[in-house]
Amino acid sequence: MTRKNKVLPAGLVIIVLSMFFTSCASMRTAGYNERETIVRFARNMMNKNYAYGENDPSKGFDCSGLVFYAYKEAGMIVPRTAGAQYKKAGKIELKDAQEGDLLFFSTYAPGPTHVGIYIGGGKFIHSPSEGKKVQIVDVERNYWKKNFYGAATFFPGK
């Protein structure tokens, strides 16, 4: 082997190793802003089972677990429960909601008991309830409109 032939494989090894050790977070968000990344990771969980108290793709998600997971994958840490998420986030009007903001609903008790991620176009993605799967629904559907509690954001500048 000539010296030139030895350098090429070593150079390739260095490139491959540098790619391997690149931060997973930077690879996840390359070409995406945080809002897009949140929605992309939530969409990737479509049809995963509802699982109370879970926030793991292999086990499933409850509503706030899906939010926690998608935000974490985008490099943002938010509280784990719907109530704590609502309390900590900045409140916004529904008409001002942007992709990645959160929509809260009062479904079985007073206060924010359910949360979904707004994806634009009047739709949100959420993990609804036992026996159902992560899905996209329209916020204007009667049930959601009737139980709407508020919109909130974890992004500065609201």
Spatial contact of 151 and 93, defined as CB atoms under 8 Å apart? yes
68 is written with which tokens? Answer: 């926690």
Please check whether residues 40 and 60 belong to one and the same domain.
Answer: yes
Same domain, 49 and 6: no
Residues 87, 24 within the same domain: no
Per-residue pLDDT, 97: 98
Give the model's pLDDT for residue 51.
97
Please report, for the domain that includes residue 83, its CATH number.
3.90.1720.10
Euclidean distance between CA atoms 48 and 33, whole angstroms: 24
Residue 63 falls in the annotated catalytic set: yes
Question: Does residue 89 sit in the same domain as residue 146?
Answer: yes
**HSE-CB for 110 with a 13 A CA cutoff:** 0
Pair (24, 39) in one structural domain: no
Kind plus residue range of the DSSP H or E element containing 106: none
Label residues 38-64 b or e (16+ Cβ within 10 Å = b): bbbbbeebeebebbeebbeeeebbbbb
Question: What pLDDT is stored for residue 157 in this prediction?
Answer: 75
Specify the residue for token string 């089972």: 49
Q: Are residues 118 and 42 in the same domain?
A: yes
Given the residues 35, 40, 48, 126, the one annotated as active site:
126
Q: Looking at 9-147, which runs of residues are DSSP E strands?
A: 55-56, 60-61, 90-92, 102-105, 114-120, 123-126, 135-138
Are 75 and 121 within one domain? yes
For residue 2, the model assigns a pLDDT of 52
Catalytic residue among 42, 63, 115, 134: 63
Residue whose structure tokens are 């329209």: 138
Number of structural domains found in the chain: 2
What is the pLDDT tens value at each position of the chain, 158 positions in all? Answer: 555 555 445 544 444 333 333 334 443 545 579 999 999 999 999 999 999 999 999 999 999 999 999 999 999 999 999 999 999 999 999 999 999 999 999 999 999 999 999 999 999 999 999 999 999 999 999 999 999 999 999 998 75
Residue 158 covered by a domain:
no
Looking at the fold, whether 26 and 51 belong to one and the same domain comes out as no
Same domain, 6 and 19: yes
Q: What is the pTM of this model?
A: 0.81
Domain that holds residue 1: 1-30
Kindly name the residue from 114, 115, 117, 153 that is annotated as catalytic: 114
